[in-house]
């Protein structure tokens, strides 16, 4: 499979997936009962009709759909129905920087801590380091992030007063929410790395390398790391989605002014354009992350390049 063909195929899949997400979200928003202004119980009929006409909600559904798609080609997600004068792309630009910072720190913790714990467990298989690492992994996969966040707040903020219980703006405000977000992915990566590394260490070429007197560090760098990195690389796309969607609850618990808060409010307010815009934005981020991971896997793994 040539590089150009693989790149074209993946890019076409990305664009088609985004189109389907936009279509599905638009359809769901318009088939549910009510409208964005239905919560305003005392609004007169004349004002309601004026609002519907202003936002073109009185137009035929197909006309609204094609107008929405035409706006997407210009990266225009439309105005908010509840926040007058605010464009959805401006709200996303305002909130996503905070969410992206929190997500990036959580991903870094997940990859580094997960790979370290998994490698330690694999090289010390059957010893206390192995049992301890896997015990931490089981705990990390079993405890929900919102429960862990509450526990961390109680211990480190309320009990010992080491870190702030909430807010945003300084480096120390990132620590507790980032740990809460990274617990499950760290545990998953640790188990993934351990299982793959144990399997690789039992291969004949690894046994032969040990017989030749090759040190543990050289075996890890030359033979083990490259083969272990592929499963972790494949998990980075879902990991990104897991952390981004999980940040909605964590941002609420820690009072973080990220995009998750806007998304929760948009559902409460039935703000159609904001729901569709943020959903499509997050879907685009996830799909682009998977797209990049697929390209990296194609570059690293010769089995993908030789497939038909």
Task: Show pLDDT as tens, one digit a residue, over the chain (308 residues).
Answer: 577 787 888 889 889 999 999 999 888 888 877 667 766 566 677 777 787 777 777 788 888 899 888 888 888 888 888 887 788 888 888 888 888 888 889 989 998 998 888 888 887 888 888 888 888 888 888 888 888 999 999 999 888 888 888 778 788 889 999 999 888 889 988 888 888 888 877 777 777 776 777 666 676 766 667 677 777 777 777 777 677 766 778 888 888 888 877 887 887 777 888 888 888 888 888 888 888 877 877 776 666 556 55
Of the CA atoms within 13 Å of residue 184, those in its CB half-sphere come to: 22
Residue 159 lies in a domain: yes
The CATH number for 222's domain is 1.10.3720.10
Residue 123 lies in a domain: yes
Residue 265 lies in a domain: no
| Percent helix, strand and coil across the chain, each to the nearest 5 | 80, 0, 20
Torsion angle of C-alpha atoms 227, 230, 231, 233, degrees rounded to 10? 150
Q: How far is 264 from 104, CA to CA, in rounded Å?
A: 21
Domain range for 205 is 95-257
pLDDT tens-digit profile of 105-156?
Answer: 998 999 899 888 888 888 788 888 888 888 888 888 888 888 899 999 999 9
Q: How many independent structural domains does the chain possess?
A: 1
Residue 3 lies in a domain: no
Residue 36 lies in a domain: no
Residue 272 lies in a domain: no
Q: pTM higher than 0.75 for the full model?
A: yes
Mean of all residue pLDDT scores within the chain = 81
Q: How far is 210 from 36, CA to CA, in rounded Å?
A: 67
Residue 26 lies in a domain: no
Q: Are residues 242 and 183 in contact, defined by beta-carbon separation less than 8 angstroms? A: no
Residue 138 lies in a domain: yes
87 φ, ψ to 5°?
Answer: -90, 145
């Amino acid at each position: 499979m040539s590089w150009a063909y693989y790149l074209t195929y993946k890019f076409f899949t990305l664009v088609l997936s985004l189109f389907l997400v936009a279509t599905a979200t638009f359809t769901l928003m318009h088939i549910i009962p009510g409208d964005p202004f239905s919560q305003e119980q005392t609004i007169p009929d004349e004002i309601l009709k004026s609002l519907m006409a202003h936002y073109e909600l009185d137009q035929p559904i197909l006309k609204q759909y094609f107008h929405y798609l035409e706006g997407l080609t210009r990266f225009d997600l439309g105005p908010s129905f509840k926040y007058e004068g605010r464009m959805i792309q401006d709200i996303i630009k305002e909130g996503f920087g905070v969410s992206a910072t929190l997500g990036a720190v959580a991903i870094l913790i997940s990859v580094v801590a997960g790979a370290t714990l998994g490698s330690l467990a694999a090289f010390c298989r059957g010893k206390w380091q192995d049992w301890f690492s896997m015990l931490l992994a089981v705990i990390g996969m079993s405890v929900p992030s919102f429960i862990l966040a509450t526990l961390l707040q109680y211990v480190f903020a309320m009990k010992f007063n080491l870190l702030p219980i909430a807010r945003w703006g300084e480096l120390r405000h990132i620590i507790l929410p980032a740990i809460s977000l990274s617990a499950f992915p760290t545990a998953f990566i640790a188990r993934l790395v351990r299982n793959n590394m144990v399997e690789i260490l039992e291969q004949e070429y690894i046994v032969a390398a040990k017989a030749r007197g090759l040190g543990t560090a050289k075996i890890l760098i030359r033979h083990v790391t490259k083969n272990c990195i592929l499963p972790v690389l494949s998990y980075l796309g879902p990991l990104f989605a897991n952390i981004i969607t999980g940040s909605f609850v964590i941002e609420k618990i820690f009072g973080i002014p990220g995009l998750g808060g806007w998304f929760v409010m948009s559902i409460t307010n039935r703000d159609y354009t904001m729901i569709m815009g943020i959903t499509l934005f997050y879907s685009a981020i996830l799909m682009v992350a998977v797209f990049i991971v697929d390209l990296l896997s194609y570059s690293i793994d010769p089995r993908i390049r030789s497939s038909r």
